[in-house]
Chain A
Amino acid sequence: DAKTTQPPSMDCAEGRAANLPCNHSTISGNEYVYWYRQIHSQGPQYIIHGLKNNETNEMASLIITEDRKSSTLILPHATLRDTAVYYCIVRVADSGTYKYIFGTGTRLKVLA
């Protein structure tokens, strides 16, 4: 089972910041938080990841709480093309490999 919980859906006005929350209360100390998105049935697209520090790249910012039990993905100026399902994934390290266990994600709809 996925180690994360996310709200099933959110709306955001175009041009506004989209803040997508994720709970991962059972995360272990060496497990990373990854964010991907999936537009229609395309392949999941990597957005950002982090361990304990906040991270920012050209797509988004990732805010991880100090206790690491939750995080928030921020899309600073959402556009219609950001409409997608967003997945928060705790990367599991078992048997030396790093499979992803996807949850059901948050369906973000950006409204014009």
Chain B
Amino acid sequence: EPEVTQTPSHQVTQMGQEVILRCVPISNHLYFYWYRQILGQKVEFLVSFYNNEISEKSEIFDDQFSVERPDGSNFTLKIRSTKLEDSAMYFCASSDWRQGETQYFGPGTRLLVL
């Protein structure tokens, strides 16, 4: 069964450093999402992406964040200058070409900013 994959599974970084989180969505999917979950808190929507541009972003997704689909398979989330409060699980999700279809989530990347 096809699934969303994410790398790395864990990342530790120093405050102020840039990180790139990578996702490989399900191959025929065209809509992509990032969510995050701070330890013990709710899963929060960050951004949605379609046709090589951002469709919607939340208040959390400020200028420090960016997303990109650099090739036909990867979907990345970049945090330019990490802050302590960026420590969280980051989940990528994708849904297929029919807008509004079920989103399938990856296993997540646990980011720890020191």
Contact = CB atoms under 8 A, between A and B. Distances in A.
Interface of A: 2, 32, 34, 36, 38, 41-46, 49, 87, 91, 93-104
Given A41-B37, A43-B91, A97 B42 contact: no
Contact of A99 (B48, B102, B104, B108): B48
B102 A34 contact: yes
Give the interface SS of chain A, mostly helix, strand, loop or mixed: loop
Chain B interface size, as a band, is 20 to 34
B42 A91 contact: no
A104 B42 contact: yes
Given A41-B89, A97-B99, 20 more contacts: A2-B42, A36-B105, A38-B43, A41-B108, A42-B108, A43-B91, A43-B93, A43-B108, A44-B43, A44-B91, A49-B102, A95-B55, A96-B55, A98-B31, A98-B103, A99-B56, A99-B58, A100-B43, A102-B43, A104-B42
Contacts of B93: 43
